[in-house]
Amino acid sequence: MTPYSGSYPLQTYDSDNDNLGDISFDPSTGDAIFITTHGNQSAPISILQTEWRKDVSRVYQEIGNIHKEVFIKSTTCPDNNPPEIDGPYVYYVEAGDLICFNITTNDHVFVPPPPASPLNQIQLE
């Protein structure tokens, strides 16, 4: 993988050293998950999403797809903690049903550590 190619527009952490980087999708939420190796990057990303359904024979058939282009920008945010969001994350409803639910979150305030004292003090005259 060379940085910033058409196949690999972002440099991501490569946990298995296969030179492909690690970009995955959460199957429940559809969120793209990756850890950038450089704090400030931006790139257009093209995603092809395919929908499959079982036919009457219980065999999966491709029924459609959508090609979506999005622009991803990563920014270094050292002074921020990610919020905690409590589930449940999955609800089952039928068409026409009313669904209501609460979302519980906690966004902890970032408290930076105090400045470190210098190891050696130099006095200039």
Instruction: Supply the pLDDT for residue 20.
Output: 61
pLDDT reported for residue 53 = 93
- Mean pLDDT calculated for residue range 48-60: 91
**pLDDT for the residue numbered 115:** 61
For the entire predicted model, the pTM comes to: 0.41
Is the pLDDT reported for residue 2 higher than 50?
no
| Torsion-angle region of 58 (φ positive above 0: left; ψ -120 to 50: alpha; else: beta) | left
* Residues of the chain above pLDDT 90, percent: 15
- Specify which of 18-32, 36-50, 56-70 reaches the highest per-range mean pLDDT: 56-70
* All residues at 6 or more sequence positions from 7 whose CB lies less than 8 Å from its CB, including other chains: 1
Strand 41-54 versus strand 104-106 pairing type: unpaired
